[in-house]
Copies of this chain bind each other. A is one copy, B any other.
Amino acid sequence: MTKSIRHIFKKKNNYRVRGNLILECDGERFFGPGRVELMELIDETGSLNKAASKMGMSYKKAWEMISDLNAQSGKPLVILKSGGEKGGGSVITDEARELIAYHKLLRKRFQAFLDKETKQLHA
Residues of A near any B CB (own CB < 8 A): 2-3, 5, 7-11, 13-27, 30, 72-75, 77, 95, 98-99, 101-102, 105-106, 109-110, 113-114, 117, 121
Contact = CB atoms under 8 A, between A and B. Distances in A.
Nearest to A75: B8
Given A3-B101, A3-B102, A106-B117, A17 B8 contact: no
**Central interface residue in A14, A19, A101, A117, by most chain B CB within 10 Å:** A19
B24 A15 contact: yes
A81 B95 CA distance: 59
Nearest to A71: B10
Count of identical protomers in the assembly: 2
A11 B74 contact: yes
A21 B30 contact: no
A93 to B, nearest CB: 9
Contacts of A27: 14
